[in-house]
Structure 1
Amino acid sequence: MAADACPRIVAALIRVTGDWTLAEDCAQEALALAVRRWPEEGMPANPGGWLMTVARNRAIDTLRRASVERRKLEELARLAPAGHDGPEAVGAEEVVDDRLRLIFTCCHPALPLEARVALTLRTICAVPAARIARAFLVTEPTMTRRLTRAKRKIADAGIPYRVPTGPALAERLPGVLAVLYLLFTQGYDADGEPAFAEEAIRLARLLRRLMPGQSEVSALLALFLLQHSRRDARQDAEGNLVPLDRQDRARWDRASISEGLEVLAGVEQDGPYGLQARIAACHVTAPSVSGTDWPTIARCYDDLARMHSTPVVELNRAVAHGYAHGPPAGLALLARSCSDGALDGHPLAIAAEADLTARGGDRDRAAALFRQAAAVARSEPERRALLDRADENARREPRR
């Protein structure tokens, strides 16, 4: 609860004070005080409100000592006291909350793309700097300096803390969608935090209400809902990954599927997120993997590759064609997508070749490829799943 409240408190304090460092320091001080007091005094009835009050009071004390203008003090004093939920007390009809404003601030075009993503991950979802550094293949001190520079640039350039309007809104939207997509991925990955995915869904809902006429906003929300609907079936009780063809479809979240399909039905023009959402819809509405509309999925990936070609898109396109038109077709596309070296040594590329090879009948080579993929897997659940596939093929077990 305390960790989840921190980003909301930081966002609320940034809105009022305009001081990124002050907001983060006060939120951290509130968390530290909670760690000391709550084990002895018990958790308060409203933990979020308690933390907001402590952080707000720390900010007021700091501003008073610095003789900051009275207006900011008055605004801070109006933040919800301990009897309320603080930044969580936003009404159900409130569309633009502090975190949404903060995302648009983080995604300002004056910042490099990498800084936008890193700053949003750190501030909105409280992803540790060390984890962000690993994602960007840099050291933690390097990432910390980049985050500091980004916050300083926001302050020095006077970047406003608000959701833009008019042409500026359309200009900034693709960057915001990309950041939300990355936030969702942080929670959806095998070793991710589910709360990150849920936060991305919540923010996508808010953004859709803000921009109901933007097809890609609705498409992104639909994609999140359809993907997240399978969250409970993606791992077994021991934490092992369960591939799509072995998932218990009764465990899929039918409410999320229904909402996702309803949102997707209102998307009139497909962009990259719309195509991905339609692919996800094909999966969640199919009775089984063998009953999936693979030709439609393959066509969606063809369109996606023409619109937004990336190594991962090409990899998934090859897999889809392998299911739709046979393993040789998939292997041929996979070979072309790997020809530029972008996917060299990537576990997903090796695993895709292994799967297509197994379905083509060469189980021995497939087993060797699955072991090769396991050796470079990015997480322990992924490694175990690949080794299981290797063992199956070595024993000549049929896929169920």
Structure 2
Amino acid sequence: MMDRGAAQSFFRRIARGWRNVREAGTVQLALTAFLLCVALFIARYSWVLPDGSSPTPLTSEAERAFYDLRAYYSADLVEEDKRVVLVVYTDQTLIKARKRSPLDRGLLAKTLRTLDAMEPKAIGIDILFDQPQDEDEELIAALRGMKTPVAVAYAATATNPDDIEWEQQQYLDQFIARLKGSKARPASIRLDNTFGATRLWPDISKGLPPLLGRVMLAEAGEPATAFAGIKNKPAYERLEMRRFIDKHGLTAYTMNPHFPVNTLQLMRAAVAAQQIGVFKPYVEAMYACMWERALKMDDPAVFRQALLDAGLPADQLLELITTDAVKGGLMANTEAAVAAGAFGSPSFLVGTELFFGKDRLRDVEEEVLRQAGGTATKA
């Protein structure tokens, strides 16, 4: 409790403060109140005005500068990812094309054909085709003729109400629909340029295609690494892995030092193995090569030798994975998995019920028994 002397001192300060307020005068009080309101306004709307779209004069520029400065000095420095190449149209490119905005889609079609000849793993286009242009037929023909999987930017009015109008949405949907059956598929992006730069990752909204980066990774057979910068997550995953190994007696398991690897040829060969009736021995052999023998399975020579060691028809499988039928089959499988809700491996679909992760095997077993009309004993 506050003693009597402290209480008296407190109330004397209150009285003195109130006396100072009365002696300040109307003009000084009004100026103080005005400056306080300005400070609160700047604190709340330093980026953008209350309408949500107009940048706040002066302060928004300062905020942007300080934001970039903080990001520059606080963000972790990482090496450039050599797998990713940005194809950028410079001012010189646009000058030679004699068309600045919107981008000449005939030029884009030519670029896509050139890139396709270089045999990349995947191509992503972050340009929305939401308005008609004279070169649309040429671009659609180029996209439909691509041998390389292409992720085409898609956005919806539901998540971008300030940037896409109804007419734009209709044309974008029609454009995407004309790519059906090709290796071009939609991928979600989010338009957010309020602060002069897109700094927000798009939300993963139900009913929209997967994000552009994830589509490219999936098509290229590259894993999407999550929690890479979280200190305790990898350590716990190793602990959980060890528990799983001990529980199931997986004595031959060894961590593959080459992981993660590009699994594109492995997945295509799995489709080919299904076609010629050797799917089960193929899967068993490839998992053993990856997680028992610790081979570098994205090396073509290693992959071929692994097929031979397993007694599988190596030459036939390697020939089949280059065919459009196998490539299209893998794309169809991927699209079906995404449509069913899958987002990673291992995923298990029991009827319409989806389960993800090896730690859900017991749940999978119980669901199989439940759907079969049996019962499962819970641990």
TM bin, normalised by shorter chain, reads under 0.3
Normalized per residue, the structure richer in helix is 1
The higher radius of gyration belongs to 2
Normalized per residue, the structure richer in strand is 2
